[in-house]
Amino acid sequence: MSMTMRTVSVLLLAPLAACATVPAATTSAPSADLAANPSAGMQYLYGSGEGAAISVQAWHALLGYVAAKVKARPADSVVLEEGATLDAPKFEPCGDRPFAAVFDVDETVMLNTGYEYHAARTGQGWNEADWGAWEKTGEGAVGPVPGADHVLAALRKLGVTVIFNTNRSVANADATARAIKAAGLGDAVHGQTLYLSGDDAMGSRKDGRRWTISGKYCVIAMGGDQLGDFSDLFNAGQPVSARRAATMQLPIAGLWGNGWFVLPNPVYGSGLKGGFDDVFPMDRRWAPPAAGGGK
């Protein structure tokens, strides 16, 4: 066993309970007319053991995968190249470029606990003004997604450059780097290891930034809580059911847990869509037999 693998084994066994703590929000007692409890999604993501465990599980899988790839030196990165399709994916060749892993930030490596507290307490949905203020001032009320802080540190020890590709605004680059640091996730340098919305002309679409990163690095793993963190091709306006089917169809299906790693987010984002006909197919419907019926 090489030193590298020994290091990985030790890190995999390291107690994740040592994750940086999330600072308490500095807010007075809630008033009585507000919701008694946060939403189910918030309970799961920010409060539950199940939510923490599934996150740690994803991070452990990612670390094991990356450790193996560092030894194997893959020919291709896990970034889809320009012109690729989901039916016929082609990947950026690696050449001899150094290794990197690319991660979304919000609810992938960092929990926006303070912002979601505000959203839950006020009952307001997401709004641009509050989110912008949060990007600028939230560094005291963030924490790592469980497992992310340990595993990002382990990736760096393996010689893999950790790069953040987020749709936070380029105008708030410095504050976002401070928040990443405050969450225990290490350093992020704009233009080197931090890419933001506004870095190019593609807005919130991340493919262009992925291609820029791929020009400098062999990207051996990506992590995200939204499918757009892997490819913009998932956000071409497909119906809910078609989008889901695209994730389950080979060869794309083979990437989950093998280069592409998904973190849970039941609180917001592109996964929270669909009416009854989207969510419950006609051939999977059931109702209890009417009283006296079926006997």
- From the CB of residue 201, how many other CB atoms can be counted at a distance below 10 Å? 7
Instruction: Output the smallest distance, CB 167 to Mg ion, in A.
Output: 8
Identity of the residue, 70 or 267, whose beta carbon is nearer to Mg ion in the bound complex: 267
The bridge status of strand 143-144 relative to strand 110-111 is: antiparallel
What's the burial of 287, exposed, middle or buried (CB within 10 Å: 0-12/13-18/19+)?
exposed
3-state SS, 123-139, equals: CCCCCHHHHHHHHHHHH
Number of H helices, E strands in the chain: 10, 9
Instruction: Output the smallest distance, CB 68 to Mg ion, in A.
Output: 26
Identity of the residue, 97 or 205, whose beta carbon is nearer to Mg ion in the bound complex: 205
- Looking at the DSSP assignment, which residues form a beta bridge with residue 165? 195
Identity of the residue, 23 or 269, whose beta carbon is nearer to Mg ion in the bound complex: 269
Instruction: Output the smallest distance, CB 107 to Mg ion, in A.
Output: 5
Instruction: Output the smallest distance, CB 141 to Mg ion, in A.
Output: 17
Q: Which helix (H) or strand (E) holds 153?
A: helix 148-157
Identity of the residue, 165 or 214, whose beta carbon is nearer to Mg ion in the bound complex: 165
Q: Quote the CA–CA distance of 262 and 279 in Å, as a whole number.
A: 20
- Looking at the DSSP assignment, which residues form a beta bridge with residue 162? 101
First to last CA, the chain: 64
Instruction: Output the smallest distance, CB 207 to Mg ion, in A.
Output: 16
Matching residue, tokens 């929990």: 111
Identity of the residue, 94 or 194, whose beta carbon is nearer to Mg ion in the bound complex: 194
The bridge status of strand 76-80 relative to strand 91-93 is: antiparallel
Identity of the residue, 38 or 228, whose beta carbon is nearer to Mg ion in the bound complex: 228
CA distances, 113 to each of 158, 180, 254, 278 (Å): 30, 13, 32, 30
Identity of the residue, 92 or 107, whose beta carbon is nearer to Mg ion in the bound complex: 107
Instruction: Output the smallest distance, CB 5 to Mg ion, in A.
Output: 31
Instruction: Output the smallest distance, CB 228 to Mg ion, in A.
Output: 9
**CB of 77 closer than 8 Å to CB of 70:** no
Which residues make up the interface to Mg ion (CB under 5 A)? Answer: 104, 106-108, 225
